[in-house]
Structure 1
C-alpha cells in the first residue's frame, strides 16, 4: 500500500510551497469607518502582483496566472506535483525521490495564509494579512488534495487519493505548534483505507488571526 507516512510528507509541502486568474476582483483591506465602504487593494498602498515588484524565491517577478511550477498566487491556487511544489522540476521533492514525486498535488489557501499583495514593501507576498497589516505568520486555512498511484508488493499499480484541511489556531496546537488538522480523507482500496480518517470542527473560515 502507499505509505501512510505520505500524510505527514504532504503537510510538509505546505511549509516549502508557501513561498489566479487575473479576472478575480481585488479583496478589500477593510472598511471606511465613516462611510462603511470597502477599501479595495487597488485603492491602497499595497503592491499587487500586476505591479511587477513582488518577487518569487529566485528573485523573479511573480506574474498573474499559473507559472511553470503550477502556482497561481493571484487566485491562491497550486496545481502541480510534489516535484514542482518546491519550485524545481528535477524529479525530486526537495532531496527525496520516489514514486510519489509525480503524484498530482492541488492546494488552495486563504488570504491570511498567503495573500496576493505586498503591504509592507518587502517585495514578498504577505502572510497573516489582516486589514492591510501582515504578521509574517500564515494564519487562516490551507487544503491539500493528492491524486496518485504506486506499485504494490505484487507489482500491481494501485491508486490513492488524499484530502487534508489544516487551520491556524495559535500557539499550543499539535501541528507545527500553532496549527491543527481539521479533516483528512484518505482512500486507498489496496491498503484498505476508505474515507474520512480525521474530522473536527469548526471547518474552514472560523480561525483566529494574528
Structure 2
C-alpha cells in the first residue's frame, strides 16, 4: 500500500494470519506502518494498493463499505474536547469515581460492538497516565474477551498481555511472536523495550 503513486510503500509484503479472539499488540517506531495496517483494514485507502484481506474466508473488498465498517470497532487516540474539564462534562454532579466514568465511556463508545468481532485500538490510551491505561486495558480484556483486538501501542505496558506482538519496521513485519518469545530473541522488540521507543 502507498499513500500516493509516486511515494514509497507504507506497507509491503504483509502476510499475516490472526486467529479469532486473538489479542494482538502492534508496535514500531514512528512511520513503521502501524496505523497504515488499521487504515487498510477499515478500507480507508482506495488507490495504490494490492493484495487482499480475508475475514472468515471472505475478501473484504466484496462487502459494501456501509455494510462492512459497522462490523468493526475503533477507539482512536484523538478525542473531541468540550468546554470545561472532561470530568465535569462526564459527571457534572460529581457522583462517580474515575474508574466508573472510564467504564461507562468505553461501553458507550463500543455499544454497537457486541455484534462486532474486531476491535482496533489506535493508541487509544496514549494521553492517559499509566494507572488509567492499566485500568482501561483490563476493562477492554473483560468486555471484549470474545473479540479479536488489535492494539496499536505507544507504551510497553499496554501490549505486554497480548497473545502475540507484531513489530513493524519500514512498512513490513519485522518480528512477530509472544512477548516472552520476542524478549528472549533480543531483536527489535527487545530494543524498543530497552529504549522505550514505541513510536511516540
Question: Which bin holds the TM-score, normalised by the shorter protein?
Answer: under 0.3
Q: Structure 1 or 2: larger helix share?
A: 2
Bigger Rg, which one: 1
Larger RCO (CA within 8 A; separation ≥ 6) = 2
Normalised TM-score (structure 1) = 0.24
- Normalised by the length of structure 2, the TM-score is 0.25
